[in-house]
């Protein structure tokens, strides 16, 4: 079971919301947080929901900004809280990596084709 606590400060017309998630359980959990206000979340979470892995018996923090006043209630809600296996799910891990790709030469080694556009420092 996760618990969520939030604090908010207002600067330059934006409210900075700090979220603290505490997992008192004996297994890691995946928390999904959202805000009923027009929150600005990091670009890797374009759908407006923050997903945070919380290890067993630990407290982790996250946050976001919003135009809502600091006394608006609620600033953040815990939408879901699901158990996670001890080992990472390969499909979820690949999704988390996003579209980043290493240079071709880093993958195939020095036998790269001559048309490789890898910079010299990778040789």
Confidence label for 105 from pLDDT (cuts 50, 70 and 90): low
Is 82 a domain residue?
yes
Q: What is the distance between the alpha carbons of residues 81 and 17, in angstroms, rounded to a whole number? A: 20
Asked whether residue 92 is assigned to any structural domain, the reply reads: yes
Does 117 score more than 70 pLDDT? no
Return the higher-pLDDT residue of 7 and 102: 7
Sole residue written with tokens 């359980």: 25
pLDDT at 8: 94
Q: Which of 56-60, 103-107, 117-121 has the highest mean pLDDT?
A: 56-60
CATH code of 67's domain: 2.60.40
At 19-65, the pLDDT tens digits run 999 999 999 999 999 888 877 766 566 666 888 999 999 999 998 88
Q: Which residue has the tokens 């990472």?
A: 88
**Confidence at residue 94, expressed as pLDDT on a 0 to 100 scale:** 73
Assess if residue 118 is contained within a domain.
Answer: no
Q: Is residue 28 one of the residues assigned to a domain?
A: yes
Mean pLDDT of 56-81: 90
DSSP β-bridge partners for residue 62: 19
The total of structural domains in the chain comes to: 1
The DSSP annotation for 35-98 comes to: -SS-EE--TT-TTS-EEEEE-TT-EEEEEEEESS-TT-S-S-EEEEEEE--SSPPHHHHHHHHT
Percentage, residues of the chain above pLDDT 90: 31
pLDDT beyond 90 at 6 = yes
In a domain, 109, yes or no: no
52 in any annotated domain: yes
Residue 95 pLDDT:
74
Q: How many CB atoms lie within 10 A of CB 23?
A: 21
Range of the domain at 77: 2-99
């Amino acid at each position: 079971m996760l618990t969520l606590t939030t604090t908010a400060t207002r600067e330059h017309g934006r409210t900075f919301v700090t979220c603290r998630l505490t997992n008192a359980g004996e297994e890691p959990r995946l928390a999904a947080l959202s805000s009923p206000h027009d929150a600005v979340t990091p670009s890797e979470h374009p759908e407006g929901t923050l997903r945070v892995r919380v290890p067993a018996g630990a407290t982790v923090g996250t946050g976001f900004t919003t135009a809502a006043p600091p006394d608006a209630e609620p600033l953040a809600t815990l939408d879901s809280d699901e158990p996670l296996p001890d080992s990472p799910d390969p499909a979820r891990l690949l999704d988390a990596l996003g579209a980043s790709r290493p240079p071709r030469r880093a993958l195939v080694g020095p036998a790269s084709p001559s048309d490789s556009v890898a910079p010299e420092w990778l040789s």
